[in-house]
Amino acid sequence: MTDTIGWARLSAPDASASQSWPELVPPVSRRGAWYPVVDRVHPETAAGPDGDRTLYVLDIGPWRLAVPANILEVRESLPDQFSVVVRSPTDPNPVRGTPTDLGNTYAVCPQSRCRVRLIGHPEKLECPCCGEEHPVAWEEAC
């Protein structure tokens, strides 16, 4: 097993970023899910005029993925809260209009990364995948 140096989830790029959200999102990662950070890379050749080009290497299931630090939110330890994902109507949603569509706001379990439909504004949720109960991080929707 590889040492975990932190936990990271994708965050929307800030307004000054030159790339938009869909083209930056690694397709194998799940929005709102926390992934183990197994390495940090400082590519000298990639240093650009807009500052930090640090890459974090995430352990995403069978893949290792190097992701630019500026589109990640990194924590020292795995949060104990459901992530709240708020999609804009223009964000890609391949299941829109189907029974598996969770709507534009849904929760992601910190343990199992299961996506959970949000009904109302619950303080806590029990994950249907792993059965764990966690608070819902409404104040830091991503």
CB of 18 to Zn ion, least distance (A): 36
The β-bridge partners of 107 are 84, 116
Please give the full DSSP string across 114-139, using - where no structure is assigned: -EEE--S--SEEE-TTT--EEEB-GG
Residue placing its CB nearer to Zn ion in the complex, 85 or 127: 127
Tell the smallest beta-carbon distance from residue 136 to Zn ion (Å): 13
- Round to whole Å and give the CA distance between 113 and 8: 13
Residue among 71 and 125 whose Cβ is closer to Zn ion: 125
Beta-bridge mates of residue 63 = 60
C-alpha–C-alpha distance, residues 105 and 69, integer Å? 25
Nearest approach in angstroms of CB 110 to Zn ion is 8
Nearer to Zn ion, 39 or 132 (CB): 132
In this complex, which beta carbon is closest to Zn ion, that of residue 15 or of residue 119?
119
Instruction: Give whichever of 10 and 107 is closer to Zn ion, judged by the CB atom.
Output: 107
Please state, as a whole number, how many other Cβ atoms lie within 10 Å of the Cβ of residue 137.
Answer: 18
Please report how close the Cβ of residue 14 comes to Zn ion at its closest, in angstroms: 30
CB 73 within 8 A of CB 85: no
Which parts of this chain interact with Zn ion (CB under 5 A)?
109, 111-112, 114, 127, 129-130
In whole angstroms, the minimum distance from the beta carbon of 106 to Zn ion comes to 13
